[in-house]
């Protein structure tokens, strides 16, 4: 009798073949499911495409995700804009650039209501001057400077109180080849009936200190190319002394000052930030001590190495105690929108004692290293323990070793997965962590493993009691291989482990297994008699997922979304 069934099965299909009509071929050649456009939009907004992935360049990923944004806009423009605002305004993404890019596309949409909603949302997404420059640079790629765009940009300036606007234009003077002077000249038509203080700021932006004095200016009337034109004299009066915001008046003095001790006093008096300080004063310990007194959280995290190098931050110093106290303040971290990735990057760089670029070196203060480690966990949304049995499965295959999460040099999806897994491990009591690739490594290399033939899965000897940099080192030392995302379920089945939820951190570029992950989960459920769930944590902005969208027991979330661990816990608890 011919055993035809051995050639075709709906219960066990090689990952190199399609097991479900909804599956498509991924970048690695295997077959996986495709996220809907909203899931893909979330991955773009949170992870972006900086650095690309093992299989796709940054350019290709950006183009693919731009198509996703267009698809979402066509499906529901207002929902798309609302989602962009939600992710950006809540600080759920490591960087705001993907949201700004998406909003720029929405601002050029064919639908009038969508365009209006996108432009109205500009202040919520472009919250600082740098964001505005990013938006202007992006939006020009998709539309011209019509009245609505000019008015929206003008509104960004006019709706800010004069003192807050002065802070923005002094702190963020230019970026992406744009300056406030360039932007104001393009949107001048919308700058009508301004307050004396706003007028003073605009004149200072466009003409510097000269723009504040009384003067006569000749203007030529008539259209270019006409044979007859006329000239008229426009008189600009000097601004009132009290109209100019105090910060700008003080900034003029700051730029001219040569004595660093006087600069430190000006910082205390006016609240200048490090971006405003002339370069020649940035090696002064007095200047940095004054800056630290009211330094924004993000700036503090970025400049830990510099302040340590200068001797301001050192064991038992008042400055170090101030930094540790700030990093331990969960409310302050959330208010400042300090993303876990920023803290993980700071921990990685500060602990190693040198920057990724340049020649700056320092000897790290251990209390600050520990504070950064703890701050990483505080930056995620609050998580309630589920009490369930959880298997944390980290894809440590070759494809997870390429690309940088949020553009952080050296922070690969593989390393970032280990850090994110520790957020759950620190919360839950009943968990086990494993790392997997595909078969192909010897037992001697991989240290007592399972996977069929040459084993490719191992229990990870990591703990949330370790510092994150130690956890990352442990995972980084594992050998590379192909990807088989079915291994966690098959391992649990083989060893009769009672798992309530499999949480797999992966790029979903799975291809090497003899059975698809969703089939492996089905088999585990049937044999073990457990309604186990699967949470897929997408670590790159690719379109693919191993989660079957038709299975209510599977969930796809985005890696390093600050809301992800809480969402995963809620899903597991159900």
The closest of 227, 293, 287 to 258, measured between CA atoms, is 287
Does some domain include residue 521?
yes
The C-alpha atoms of residue 364 and residue 571 are separated, in whole angstroms, by: 40
Q: Which helix (H) or strand (E) holds 219?
A: strand 215-221
Q: Which helix (H) or strand (E) holds 459?
A: strand 457-459
Does some domain include residue 31?
no
The alpha carbon of residue 33 and the mean position of all alpha carbons in its chain are separated, in whole angstroms, by 25
The yes-or-no verdict on residue 55 having pLDDT over 70 is no
Mean pLDDT of 390-395: 95
Question: Look-up: residue for tokens 């969703």?
Answer: 518
**Are 333 and 398 members of one domain?**
no
Report the range of poorest mean pLDDT among 109-118, 215-224, 371-380, 481-490. Answer: 215-224
Percent of the chain with pLDDT over 70: 88
The alpha carbon of residue 432 and the mean position of all alpha carbons in its chain are separated, in whole angstroms, by 28
Residue spans of alpha helices (H) in 144-195:
147-158, 162-171, 180-186
Residue spans of alpha helices (H) in 303-395:
304-309, 318-327, 330-335, 340-352, 366-378
Give the chain's domain count: 3
Does some domain include residue 21?
no
| Residues pairing with 119 in the sheet | none
**Are 567 and 419 members of one domain?**
yes
End of a domain among 172, 206, 240? 206
**Are 397 and 368 members of one domain?**
no
Does some domain include residue 335?
yes
For residue 486, what is the DSSP state? T
**Are 403 and 529 members of one domain?**
yes
| Residues pairing with 31 in the sheet | 25
The yes-or-no verdict on residue 236 having pLDDT over 90 is no
Structural domain containing residue 494: 390-573
Question: Look-up: residue for tokens 């700071």?
Answer: 346
Any idea what the Cα angle at residue 528 is, between residues 527 and 529, rounded to 5°?
Answer: 95
Q: For position 572, what pLDDT does the model report?
A: 95
At 559, list the tokens.
């890696």
End of a domain among 353, 378, 403? 378
Helix axis angle, 468-476 to 366-378, nearest 10°: 80
Q: Which bin fits 97, alpha (ψ -120 to 50), beta or left (φ > 0)?
A: alpha
Confidence grade of residue 439 (pLDDT, cut at 50, 70, 90): low
On whether the CB atoms of residues 373 and 484 are closer than 8 A, the answer is no
**Are 402 and 519 members of one domain?**
yes
Which stretch, 9-13, 47-51, 463-467, has highest mean pLDDT? 463-467
What's the pTM? 0.86
First to last CA, the chain: 47
Does some domain include residue 242?
no
CATH of the domain at 405: 3.40.50.410
Confidence grade of residue 197 (pLDDT, cut at 50, 70, 90): very high
Q: For position 359, what pLDDT does the model report?
A: 82
Report the range of poorest mean pLDDT among 6-20, 226-240, 254-268, 492-506. Answer: 226-240
**Are 312 and 422 members of one domain?**
no
At 133, list the tokens.
């420059």
Does some domain include residue 13?
no
Torsion of CA 570, 406, 179, 167, to 10 degrees: 50
Does some domain include residue 480?
yes
Look at residue 455 and give its three-state secondary structure. coil
**Are 349 and 274 members of one domain?**
yes
The closest of 258, 128, 133 to 184, measured between CA atoms, is 133
**Are 374 and 417 members of one domain?**
no
**Are 555 and 435 members of one domain?**
yes
The C-alpha atoms of residue 563 and residue 573 are separated, in whole angstroms, by: 16
The yes-or-no verdict on residue 411 having pLDDT over 90 is no
**Are 334 and 408 members of one domain?**
no
Does some domain include residue 173?
yes
The yes-or-no verdict on residue 510 having pLDDT over 80 is yes
Q: Which residues neighbour 21 within 8 Å (Cβ) at sequence distance 6 or greater?
A: none
The C-alpha atoms of residue 565 and residue 567 are separated, in whole angstroms, by: 5
């Amino acid at each position: 009798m011919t055993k035809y069934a051995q050639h075709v099965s709906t219960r066990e299909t090689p990952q190199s073949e399609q097991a479900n009509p909804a599956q498509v071929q991924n970048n690695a050649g295997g077959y996986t499911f495709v996220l809907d456009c909203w899931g893909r939009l979330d991955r773009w907004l949170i992870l972006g495409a900086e650095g690309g992935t093992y299989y796709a360049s940054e350019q290709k990923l950006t183009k693919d995700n731009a198509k996703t944004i267009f698809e979402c806009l066509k499906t529901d423009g207002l929902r798309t804009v609302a989602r962009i605002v939600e992710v950006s305004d809540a600080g759920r993404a490591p960087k705001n650039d993907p949201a700004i890019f998406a909003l720029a596309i929405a601002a050029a949409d064919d639908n009038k209501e969508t365009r209006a909603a996108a432009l109205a949302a500009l202040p919520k997404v472009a919250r600082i001057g740098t964001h505005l420059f990013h938006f202007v640079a992006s939006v020009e790629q998709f539309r011209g400077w019509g009245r609505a765009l000019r008015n929206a940009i003008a509104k960004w300036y006019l709706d800010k109180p004069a003192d807050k606007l002065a802070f923005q234009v002094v702190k963020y003077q230019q970026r992406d080849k744009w300056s406030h002077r360039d932007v104001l000249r393009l949107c001048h038509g919308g700058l009508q009936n301004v307050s004396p203080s706003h007028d003073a700021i605009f004149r200072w932006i466009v003409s510097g200190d000269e723009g504040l004095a009384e003067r006569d200016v000749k203007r030529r009337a008539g259209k270019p190319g006409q044979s007859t034109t006329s000239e008229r004299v426009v008189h600009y009066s000097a601004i009132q002394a009290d109209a100019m915001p105090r910060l700008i008046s003080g900034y003029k003095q700051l730029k001219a000052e040569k004595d660093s001790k006087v600069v430190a006093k000006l910082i205390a008096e006016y609240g200048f930030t490090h971006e405003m300080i002339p370069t020649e004063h940035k090696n002064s310990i007095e200047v940095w001590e004054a800056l630290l007194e009211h330094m924004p959280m993000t700036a503090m995290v970025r400049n830990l190495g510099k302040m340590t190098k200068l001797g301001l931050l050192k064991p038992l110093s008042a400055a170090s105690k101030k930094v540790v106290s700030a990093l331990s303040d969960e409310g302050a971290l959330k208010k400042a929108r300090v993303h876990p990735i920023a803290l993980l990057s700071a921990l990685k760089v500060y602990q190693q004692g040198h920057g990724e670029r340049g020649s700056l070196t320092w000897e790290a203060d251990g209390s600050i290293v520990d504070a950064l480690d703890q701050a990483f966990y505080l930056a995620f949304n609050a998580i309630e323990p589920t009490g369930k049995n959880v298997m944390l499965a980290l894809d440590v295959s070759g494809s997870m070793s390429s690309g940088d999460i949020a553009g952080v040099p050296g922070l690969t999806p593989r390393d970032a997965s280990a850090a994110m897994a520790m957020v759950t491990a620190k919360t839950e009591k009943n968990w086990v962590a494993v790392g997997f690739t595909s078969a192909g490594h010897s037992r001697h290399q991989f240290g007592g493993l399972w996977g069929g033939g040459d084993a490719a899965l191992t229990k990870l000897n990591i703990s949330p009691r370790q510092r994150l940099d130690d956890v990352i080192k442990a995972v980084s030392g594992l050998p590379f291989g192909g990807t088989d995302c079915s291994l966690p379920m098959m391992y649990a089945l083989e060893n009769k482990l009672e798992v309530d939820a499999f949480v797999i951190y992966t790029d979903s570029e799975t291809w090497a297994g003899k059975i698809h992950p969703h089939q492996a989960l089905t088999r585990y459920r049937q044999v073990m008699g457990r309604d186990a769930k699967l949470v897929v944590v997408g670590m790159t902005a690719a379109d693919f997922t191993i989660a079957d969208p038709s299975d209510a027991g599977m969930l796809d979330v985005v890696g390093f979304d600050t809301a992800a661990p809480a969402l995963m816990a809620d899903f597991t608890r159900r």
